[in-house]
Amino acid sequence: MAINTACNELGQIWMESGVSENAVSGHIQLIIPGETACFACAPPLVVAANIDEKTLKKDGVCAASLPTTMGVVAGILVQNVLKYLLKFGTVSYYLGYNAMQDFFPTMHMKANSQCNDRYCRIQQEAYKKREAERPKVEVVEVEEEEVVHEDNDWGIELVSEVTDAELQAASGTVPDLPEGITVAYTIPTQESPRGDMVEETEQSLEELMAQMRKL
């Protein structure tokens, strides 16, 4: 809380992290004074209720999980710091870690207008003033130009979707379907020509194979 107050007073951007009492979850948080929630905007229960940490029960805590979870959270914190300083990737404003379910919740918490830290409220007013003075960027809609190719060696054409009437005229009848459902094709009503098929014959398979060898 002391570091949080000092950073709010100076307007210093910083990151904090922590591991829960059960040693199997933790989080990291990027704090931008006035813009995002500070440590006092949404403090842990032990801080908000002003509970003495020595009175907290730690039943069922796995001693081996605590340093492991701390190592994971510390690694995520350092990676987030590097992304912010070196300006690459997506910087996480808040990233949690649940080791029991391998779950990484993320969110963006805004500053609390009723924060108990006086310097945080001052930074919020300064941020609102900066945002109001910032020139608004007009969004210009770019019209997509129609693509026209001078050459069309392959004869490719764009055609409209086939309607039910066109399908019915081209082949068989269109079945009755619910509204919004159409068929892609229908079964032709007449049999297709069989000119390219082999005519039936009474010759045996051996005789046909003998004829093929003579070709």
Active site residues: 62
- Secondary structure E strands in 55-207: 94-98, 106-107
* Separation CA 126–CA 8 (nearest Å): 12
14-19/25-31 β-pairing: antiparallel
* Separation CA 164–CA 168 (nearest Å): 6
CA 171 to chain centre: 45
**Residue length, the chain?**
215
The count of other CB atoms within 10 Å of the CB of residue 30 is: 23
